[in-house]
Amino acid sequence: MQGLVTKSTGSWYQVKAGNEVFDCRIKGKFRIKGITTTNPIAVGDVVDFEMEPEQGTGVITNLHQRKNYIIRKSVNLSKQAQIIAANLDQAFLIVTLASPRTSLGFIDRFLVTAEAYDIPARLIFNKLDLFSDEGLSILGDYKDIYERIGYPCYEVSAKEGTNIQQVQDQLKDKVTLLTGHSGVGKSSLINRLLPDLELKTHMISEWSDKGMHTTTFAEMFDLPQGGYIIDTPGIRELGVIDIEKQELGHFFPEMRERMNECRFNNCRHINEPGCAVLEALDEDEIAITRYESYLSIYNGNDTRS
- A 10 A CB-CB count for 82 gives 17
Report the C-alpha gap between 105 and 152 in whole angstroms: 18
What count of residues does the chain have?
Answer: 305
Look at residue 26 in the predicted model and tell me its pLDDT: 87
pLDDT, one tens digit for every residue, the chain (305 residues) = 999 999 988 789 999 999 999 999 987 666 555 556 777 899 999 999 999 988 889 999 999 999 999 887 765 545 677 888 999 999 999 999 988 899 999 999 999 999 999 999 999 999 999 999 999 999 999 999 999 999 999 999 999 999 999 999 999 999 999 999 988 999 899 999 998 876 655 444 433 344 443 445 789 999 998 999 999 887 776 778 778 999 999 999 999 999 999 999 999 999 999 999 999 999 999 999 999 999 999 998 866 55
**End-to-end C-alpha distance for the chain, whole angstroms:** 46
Half-sphere exposure in the Cβ direction for 149 (13 Å, CA): 26
| Separation CA 170–CA 118 (nearest Å) | 18
Cα–Cα distance measured from residue 167 to residue 92, given in angstroms and rounded to the nearest whole number: 9
- Neighbouring CB atoms inside 10 A of 81's CB total 17
pLDDT of amino acid 108: 96
Looking at residue 28, its pLDDT comes to 67
CB atoms within 10 A of CB 46: 17
Instruction: Output the pLDDT for position 29.
Output: 64
Whole-angstrom distance, CA of residue 51 vs CA of residue 171: 33
Predicted TM-score (pTM) of this structure? 0.88
Report the 3 state secondary structure along 251-294. HCHHHHCCHHHCCCCCCCCCCCCCCHHHHHHHCCCCCHHHHHHH
